[in-house]
Structure 1
Amino acid sequence: MNAPCTQHHSLNAPENLGDPTTFQRLLDEETVPVPEFLRPAPPAGLGDADMAVSRYFSADFHKQEMDKMWPRVWQFVARDEAIPDAGDHVVHDIGDHSVIVMRGDDGVVRAFANSCLHRGIALRPTGGNVNQLRCPFHGFTWDLAGAMKSLPCAWDFKHFGRDRQDLPQVRVETWAGFIFINFDKNAAPLVDWLGVLPEHCADYGLERATTIVHVRKRIPCNWKLAQEAFFESFHVRATHPHILTFTDDVDSQYDLYGDNLARCITPMSIASPNLDGVTQTEVMHDCIAASGRMADGDGDAHTLPAGMTARQYVGEMNRAAYAAASGVDLSHATLAELQDAILYSVFPHFQIWAGYFGNIVYRAMPDGHNPESCIYDVMVLGRHKAHEPRPAAVPVHWLSDDEPFSSAPELGALGPVLDQDMRNLPHMTRGLKASMTGVVTLASYQELRIRAHHHTLDKYLAD
């Protein structure tokens, strides 16, 4: 049966487990040069102060975010391949803002306020493809660059000057095929916002990536809770016990790079120190079968050669498959970059698993003005060869509120893992409201990405 091994393993007492230097020791065993950016970037100056529980459900706090933070940050909207042709567009909603992100006849991606300049009706209810933007109420029409084409009864609008007739635009910038918008015309460029992320990902071919999985679902929790569910790995023992045989959870490395960028690196194809007695064969089998990110998902189809570790085998399996898929020589790639969970988070709501293939992207968006609901996206990126045309992105698979992620077959082994995370979140809100201390207490190291996220958020709310 192609499933994680069910052999019983004794659990070690959790109190004294965890060694954040483990990943660096694994890097020292690499047989190829190790990129300097995989070395630690120690955090400093965050402190250990508790946080008020109301940050996760207060309507007033949510309003402050909407008024002071969201209009001033770079927001991830879509992948470039989701709107490949002229007239292709997506509608991006955040609070009361609605934006049409559209590719023009000239190939340029622009973002327009989703509001008719006549009486304000939304021009587009959803994404799709059009050859113009036409108001459904009175027929005012704009071209794909936002210039007015048709003004009905123009004789009656002499006061509507030509300088007012084009659709207002929102800033749009891209990195490696990711499209971002910002309502703040004075904000620093996206490349500054991303910090060292483009440099760290320069060799991963993300500009040749294409979306092979895109699943979206409404989650009954605050958007920050959904983001933070993936900000640390030491929840694995309690939430994802079935992946302990190949996930070195409490030995993860955590790094910070200024206000907007943070990282967690969790070694894979290594048994968790929470378990005793896991064999290398089990590690190999379970990592292939249950991780959802490796080049193959059939653990039963592989036999671990004598003298080879599971980490070496899975890494070399991925090296061969990823090189074939991308048409790129990966002989220089580290085992870490070929399999480990190297997860970057960009403030406020964008996360990406770095590496040469199978990059998972997460995004949590507030669900209108409801502080206890969010829209959650999970994407998986593949690659195409440089000389081949870019495949179109798969359509978004919207799950109903009652459908689990495991009902989306394209997610494979990721679906059940996501469901385990999502099952915690409604109980998070309930428990936060029931708190008699009124505060959340965070770990100093393993939850530093959560603390950093709130430190940055507070800087916007303080202005």
Structure 2
Amino acid sequence: MTAPTRSERTDRSPGPSYQDLLDADTREVPDFLRTEGESGFGIADIPASFYFDRDLVALEKERIWKTVWQFACRETAVANPGDTVVYDIADLSILLVRGDDGGLRGFYNACLHRGRQLRQVDGPVSELACQFHGFCWDLRGELARVPARWDFPQVTDEAFVLPQVRVDTWGGFVFVCLDPDQVPLRDYLGRLTELEHWDMAGRYVEAHVEKLLPCNWKVAQEAFMESFHVVTTHPQLLRGIGDANSQYDAWGWTSRAITPRGTPSPHLSYEPTEQEIFDAMMGLGLDDPRILELPDGATARTVIAAATRSRMAASLGPKADELSDSECVDTFFYTAFPNFHPWGSYNRTCYRFRPNGADPETCFMEVLVLSPFSGERPPDAPVRRLGLEQSFLEAVELGPLARVFFQDEYNVGFVQKGLHTLVEHKPGVSFGAYQETKIRHFYALYRGLMGI
């Protein structure tokens, strides 16, 4: 007997399912949006100690960060010979280098003499020289120079080649993997590669913000893996977002959520008009002047979809007119285990979450805005780094998203503090069976690798 699809199940919110909205689309929708993945990962609690147990930090390093494929940088950051990027994860450091032969390599970022990092910052170089004693390697990782070599009879060219990690690219992203036995990158990404439909490689980094947050990296990313929090954290969005009507799917190492917009939240106690839905999607308050009066019979979804097609024509050309209403309006947010979160269609947002060294109480959240363009590729934006005492509101390059991220960052520190108290009387965190599917899928993979 075939399991019921999400649209056929009865344990769901009132209102149209995402598949119902696709049925009403004014354009042909991509086939992969019609698919539904796994969403049943049980209802067991997740131990609260997962978020602050210091012993788990070392275990995560060995069983997560040393085994998985992980997003390190955009290809444009290492496009030319001599370009380097330092990618730090936990207390490990990887150095990505574009060789003079055009090859892209990833080296363990440590001098083989005394262990000093070869590079602390990104940027172009002609060689990989240690700033401590001057041991030097060429861009292919082969030993080039040793000061006072007469004093190192044990140092041979063969023994002192820089050790490498696996490197591969997809969608304009560079990935690294420290496990030689892990599956190839495309196999690992699996269904996430459907993002190729929206040309992820043909983007430039319009904005890149890194924020230090007062919480564990898992707490931070969980805030961006479901739409369940919208009803309380982002109430200004409710008139124009079907938060509880989202579709959640998981396959292998990856998962996907699709949150419909241009349709009201089932949490509302009234039915907003199409004009009110449109105004909410434009970020307007109840007393703000309207941007546009909708024609009689028009829906917010179709009006915004038409405007999006018109706007995207500058970068997409005739392809823009083929975009479905869903691609123009809805929110698609994907995850590749453990910490890579690109958005689909032309929403442009991409997240990465990393532990702050060996500290389980803080982490780095990064937001990249990946924008399509026409003509010559614009230069990528530099990284804006925000400390604990700063706010996403300072990241003006994020536009209206800065306010939304500020609402999210406000919660996560209090979650981290609360978990220390929660564990005193309730050992676990209780996630929803469906709306928090992506998080439950993450922990199915996490616990499997960690053996806990």
For the aligned pair, the TM-score class normalised by the smaller chain equals: over 0.9
Provide the C-alpha distance between the structure 1 equivalents of 2:33 and 2:109, rounded to a whole number of angstroms: 42
Alpha-carbon contact 1:133-1:143 (below 8 Å) kept: yes
- Kindly report the root-mean-square deviation, in angstroms, between the aligned alpha carbons of the 2 structures: 2.0
Residue from 356, 363, 370 that aligns with 1:374: 363
Is the counterpart of residue 246 in structure 1 residue 240 in structure 2? yes
Q: Which amino acid aligns with 1:311?
A: R
Query: In the alignment, what sits opposite 1:462?
Result: 451
Q: Give the superposition deviation at 1:125.
A: 1.4
Q: Give the superposition deviation at 1:163.
A: 0.8
Q: Give the superposition deviation at 1:462.
A: 1.8
Is the counterpart of residue 235 in structure 1 residue 222 in structure 2? no
Provide the C-alpha distance between the structure 2 equivalents of 1:437 and 1:406, rounded to a whole number of angstroms: 35
TM-score in terms of structure 1 length: 0.90
Query: In the alignment, what sits opposite 1:322?
Result: 312
Alpha-carbon contact 1:98-1:114 (below 8 Å) kept: yes
Provide the C-alpha distance between the structure 2 equivalents of 1:390 and 1:125, rounded to a whole number of angstroms: 27
Provide the C-alpha distance between the structure 1 equivalents of 2:379 and 2:96, rounded to a whole number of angstroms: 17
Query: In the alignment, what sits opposite 1:424?
Result: 411
Deviations 1:28-64 (A, max 9, x none): 0112222221124242552211111101111112221
- Identity across the alignment (%): 39
Provide the C-alpha distance between the structure 2 equivalents of 1:354 and 1:129, rounded to a whole number of angstroms: 32
Q: Give the superposition deviation at 1:264.
A: 0.9
- For residues 191-340 of structure 1, the aligned pairs below 5 Å read 191-198=186-193, 200-258=194-252, 260-275=253-268, 276-289=270-283, 300-340=290-330
TM-score in terms of structure 2 length: 0.92
Is the counterpart of residue 402 in structure 1 residue 389 in structure 2? yes
Is the counterpart of residue 437 in structure 1 residue 430 in structure 2? no
- For residues 143-182 of structure 1, the aligned pairs below 5 Å read 143-182=138-177
Q: Which amino acid aligns with 2:245?
A: D
Deviations 1:377-406 (A, max 9, x none): 001111123xx3322211101112211111
Alpha-carbon contact 2:90-2:354 (below 8 Å) kept: no
Alpha-carbon contact 1:94-1:368 (below 8 Å) kept: yes
Provide the C-alpha distance between the structure 1 equivalents of 2:302 and 2:20, rounded to a whole number of angstroms: 15
Any gaps of 5 or more consecutive residues in structure 1? 1-15, 292-297
Is the counterpart of residue 446 in structure 1 residue 429 in structure 2? no
Q: Give the superposition deviation at 1:310.
A: 0.7
Query: In the alignment, what sits opposite 2:48?
Result: 53
Q: Give the superposition deviation at 1:27.
A: 0.2
Q: Which amino acid aligns with 1:99?
A: I
Alpha-carbon contact 1:286-1:299 (below 8 Å) kept: no
Provide the C-alpha distance between the structure 1 equivalents of 2:284 and 2:72, rounded to a whole number of angstroms: 30
1:119–1:70 CA distance, 2 compared to 1 (3 A): same
Is the counterpart of residue 141 in structure 1 residue 136 in structure 2? yes
Q: Which amino acid aligns with 1:79?
A: R
Provide the C-alpha distance between the structure 2 equivalents of 1:443 and 1:138, rounded to a whole number of angstroms: 55
Alpha-carbon contact 1:367-1:374 (below 8 Å) kept: yes
Provide the C-alpha distance between the structure 1 equivalents of 2:371 and 2:88, rounded to a whole number of angstroms: 27
Q: Give the superposition deviation at 1:300.
A: 4.8
Q: Which amino acid aligns with 2:85?
A: V
Deviations 1:134-156 (A, max 9, x none): 11011111222222222222222
Local SS of the residue matching 1:77: strand
Alpha-carbon contact 1:82-1:392 (below 8 Å) kept: no
Alpha-carbon contact 1:285-1:299 (below 8 Å) kept: no
Provide the C-alpha distance between the structure 2 equivalents of 1:103 and 1:389, rounded to a whole number of angstroms: 22
Q: Give the superposition deviation at 1:441.
A: 1.2
Alpha-carbon contact 1:21-1:253 (below 8 Å) kept: no
Provide the C-alpha distance between the structure 2 equivalents of 1:299 and 1:114, rounded to a whole number of angstroms: 55
Deviations 1:59-108 (A, max 9, x none): 11222111211100011111112233222222111122111112222332
Q: Mean alpha-carbon deviation: is it higher for 343-352 or for 392-401?
A: 392-401
Q: Which amino acid aligns with 1:415?
A: A
Any gaps of 5 or more consecutive residues in structure 2? 1-10
Alpha-carbon contact 2:216-2:355 (below 8 Å) kept: yes
Q: Mean alpha-carbon deviation: is it higher for 273-282 or for 213-222?
A: 273-282
Provide the C-alpha distance between the structure 2 equivalents of 1:82 and 1:358, rounded to a whole number of angstroms: 22
Alpha-carbon contact 2:39-2:434 (below 8 Å) kept: no
Provide the C-alpha distance between the structure 2 equivalents of 1:253 and 1:44, rounded to a whole number of angstroms: 9
Aligned residues: 437
Q: Give the superposition deviation at 1:225.
A: 0.7
Deviations 1:291-330 (A, max 9, x none): 9xxxxxx995434233211100111111121121233522
Q: Give the superposition deviation at 1:416.
A: 1.0
Q: Which amino acid aligns with 1:445?
A: Y
Query: In the alignment, what sits opposite 2:181?
Result: 186
Provide the C-alpha distance between the structure 1 equivalents of 2:214 and 2:229, rounded to a whole number of angstroms: 20
Provide the C-alpha distance between the structure 1 equivalents of 2:284 and 2:384, rounded to a whole number of angstroms: 22
Query: In the alignment, what sits opposite 2:7?
Result: none
1:42–1:417 CA distance, 2 compared to 1 (3 A): same
Local SS of the residue matching 2:198: coil
Query: In the alignment, what sits opposite 1:23?
Result: 18
Alpha-carbon contact 2:40-2:437 (below 8 Å) kept: no
Alpha-carbon contact 1:41-1:257 (below 8 Å) kept: no
Local SS of the residue matching 2:431: coil
Deviations 1:104-148 (A, max 9, x none): 223322111111111111111121222211110111112222222
Alpha-carbon contact 1:406-1:412 (below 8 Å) kept: no
Alpha-carbon contact 2:353-2:366 (below 8 Å) kept: yes
